[in-house]
């Protein structure tokens, strides 16, 4: 059975999130997107735990056919972020006890800071029977490769997976030799229950049934049959750019200017340039068991480009809702026949979806915190 999973989201208790998030709204957004499994996010937080437990039955967490896996993101003493997946609340609470004296904000911050290093967090997570890996591993803020050159050296061992983040894909990551034995996860890191954010990156897994053990086995034994996510240029940290005005620079220009923009803002090193610095290969060397990577763009952005509108406009929302009458967003983007789409969508929208499927979408690269923009060719 092939399922779609997004393991990284957040609750209202993390910074920069909507205070209207609840688990039922997340499930509704996930169904519209086409996700079968989604992470709860922030499962160490007491109030969010209470929300999750409202839907727990015999150890399973399910709402209207959408299954949830207990997950959290934590920050360590070096500002590196880690994504952790737990089998049950016993594992969650065991991990929480292990970090208690190192995490003063664990009971009131959805993404708590733990004042220990990566090797200790890895040990605590694995001892609690959880899975762990670096979150958004290449971004210039709060990521492992932003501050360190080797994942294996930082952890002192191999993590369960690595999350690529919105500004990287398999072609980027497989230029690094130490990652060839590590499974890749592609997750949204969504701060909203909107299908525009949920599942903007996701994983296709081959499992016999939706259980923790099957999902765990699929991740650890590379039964992820497809990663899907942004073209790297679409990510908001792909290119080296100013974090204030978003002016882009070559790496040579940024170094010459002391990482200070002409506007006075701070220039942040882009994921593309960072990978060039640490890569072992000029091009990707994919291991035989690496699954294909599908570049995907949120449907609302494709509709917006077709109609020369804003992705959050009422016009785009109306067209998006009409399309969802024939299937979820993922199926509309990659599976449903264009002839069916043409019967319900304006010609410009159907043509734009065709262009997406045929690779006729140009990306104006993002950087410095600004997402890349799409242009239908």
Q: Which of 112, 111, 141, 103 is nearest to 17 (CA)?
A: 111
State yes or no: pLDDT of 57 exceeds 90: yes
Q: What is the pLDDT of residue 222?
A: 80
Helix (H, G, I), strand (E, B) or coil at 365: coil
Helix (H, G, I), strand (E, B) or coil at 374: strand
Strands 293-295 and 224-229, by their bridges, are parallel
State yes or no: pLDDT of 348 exceeds 90: yes
Q: Which of 40, 36, 33, 30 is nearest to 8 (CA)?
A: 40
β-bridge partners, 320: none
Structure confidence at residue 40 as a pLDDT band (50, 70, 90): very high
Q: Are 29 and 191 in contact (CB under 8 A)?
A: no
State yes or no: pLDDT of 129 exceeds 90: yes
Q: How many Å apart are CA 193 and CA 191, to the nearest integer? A: 7
Structure confidence at residue 334 as a pLDDT band (50, 70, 90): very high
Q: Tokens for 153?
A: 């050296």
State yes or no: pLDDT of 361 exceeds 90: yes
Q: How many Å apart are CA 185 and CA 82, to the nearest integer? A: 13
State yes or no: pLDDT of 235 exceeds 90: yes
**Burial class (CB within 10 angstroms; exposed 0-12, middle 13-18, buried 19+) of 38:** buried
Q: What is the pLDDT of residue 150?
A: 98
Structure confidence at residue 316 as a pLDDT band (50, 70, 90): very high
Write out pLDDT tens, residues 88-98. Answer: 999 999 999 99
Mean pLDDT of 283-296: 97
Structure confidence at residue 263 as a pLDDT band (50, 70, 90): very high
pTM (predicted TM-score)? 0.96
Q: What is the pLDDT of residue 271?
A: 98
State yes or no: pLDDT of 234 exceeds 90: yes
Quick one: what percent of the chain has pLDDT higher than 70?
100
Inter-residue long-range contacts of 145-151, CB under 8 Å, 24+ positions, other chains counted: 145/274, 145/275, 145/278, 146/269, 146/274, 147/78, 147/79, 147/80, 148/78, 148/80, 149/278, 150/178, 151/178, 151/179, 151/182
Q: How many Å apart are CA 237 and CA 91, to the nearest integer? A: 34
Determine if residue 153 is left, alpha or beta; phi over 0 gives left, psi from -120 to 50 gives alpha, anything else beta. Answer: alpha
Q: CA 275: distance to chain centroid?
A: 18
Residue 254 φ/ψ, nearest 5 degrees: -60, -40
Burial 84-99 (b: 16+ CB within 10 A, else e): bbbbbbebbebbbebb
Domain 2-232: CATH architecture, name and number where available: Alpha-Beta Barrel (3.20)
Q: CA 288: distance to chain centroid?
A: 24
Q: Which of 242, 234, 246, 249 is nearest to 268 (CA)?
A: 242
Q: How many Å apart are CA 197 and CA 342, to the nearest integer? A: 25
Q: What is the pLDDT of residue 320?
A: 96
- As a whole number, the mean pLDDT across the chain is 96
Write out pLDDT tens, residues 209-230. Answer: 999 999 999 999 988 999 999 9
Residues of the chain with CATH 3.20.20.140: 2-232
Out of 9-18, 31-40, 122-131, least confident range: 9-18
Q: CA 345: distance to chain centroid?
A: 29
State yes or no: pLDDT of 126 exceeds 90: yes
Residue 355: half-sphere exposure toward Cβ, Cα within 13 Å: 21
Q: Tokens for 71?
A: 């997950």
Angle at 128 between CA 126 and CA 133, to 5 degrees: 40
Write out pLDDT tens, residues 153-204. Answer: 999 999 999 999 999 999 999 999 999 999 999 999 999 999 999 999 999 9
State yes or no: pLDDT of 326 exceeds 90: yes
């Amino acid at each position: 059975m092939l399922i779609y999973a997004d393991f990284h989201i957040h609750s209202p208790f993390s910074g920069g999130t909507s205070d209207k998030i609840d688990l039922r709204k997340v499930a509704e957004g996930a169904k519209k997107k086409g996700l079968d499994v989604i992470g709860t996010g922030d499962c160490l937080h007491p109030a969010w735990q209470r929300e999750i437990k409202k839907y727990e039955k015999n150890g399973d967490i399910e709402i209207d056919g959408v299954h949830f896996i207990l997950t959290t993101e934590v920050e360590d003493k070096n500002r590196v972020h880690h994504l952790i997946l737990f089998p049950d609340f016993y594992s969650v609470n065991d991990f929480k006890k292990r970090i208690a004296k190192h995490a003063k904000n664990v009971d009131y911050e959805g993404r708590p800071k733990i004042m220990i290093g990566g090797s200790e967090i890895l040990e605590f997570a694995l001892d609690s029977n959880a899975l762990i890996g670096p979150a958004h591993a290449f971004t210039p803020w709060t990521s492992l490769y932003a501050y360190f050159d080797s994942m294996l050296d930082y952890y002192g061992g191999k993590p369960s997976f690595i999350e690529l983040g919105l500004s990287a894909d398999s072609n980027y990551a497989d230029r690094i030799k130490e990652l060839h034995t590590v499974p890749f996860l592609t997750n949204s890191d969504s701060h909203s229950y909107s299908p525009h954010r949920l599942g903007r990156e996701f994983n296709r897994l081959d499992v016999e049934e939706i259980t923790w053990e099957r999902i765990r086995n699929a991740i650890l034994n590379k039964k992820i049959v497809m990663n899907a996510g942004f073209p790297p240029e679409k990510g908001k940290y792909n290119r080296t750019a100013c974090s204030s005005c978003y002016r882009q620079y070559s790496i040579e220009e940024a170094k010459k200017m002391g990482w200070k923009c002409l506007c006075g803002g701070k220039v942040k090193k882009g994921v593309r340039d960072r990978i060039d610095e640490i890569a072992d290969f000029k091009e990707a060397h994919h291991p035989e068991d690496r699954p294909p990577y599908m570049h995907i763009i949120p449907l609302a952005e494709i509709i917006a480009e077709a109609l020369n509108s804003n992705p959050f406009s009422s016009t785009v929302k109306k067209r998006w809702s009409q399309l969802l009458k024939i299937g979820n967003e993922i199926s509309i983007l990659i599976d449903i026949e264009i002839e069916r789409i043409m019967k319900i969508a304006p010609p410009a929208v159907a043509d734009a979806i065709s262009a997406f499927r045929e690779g006729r979408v140009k990306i104006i690269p993002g950087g410095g915190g600004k997402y890349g923009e799409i242009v239908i060719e």
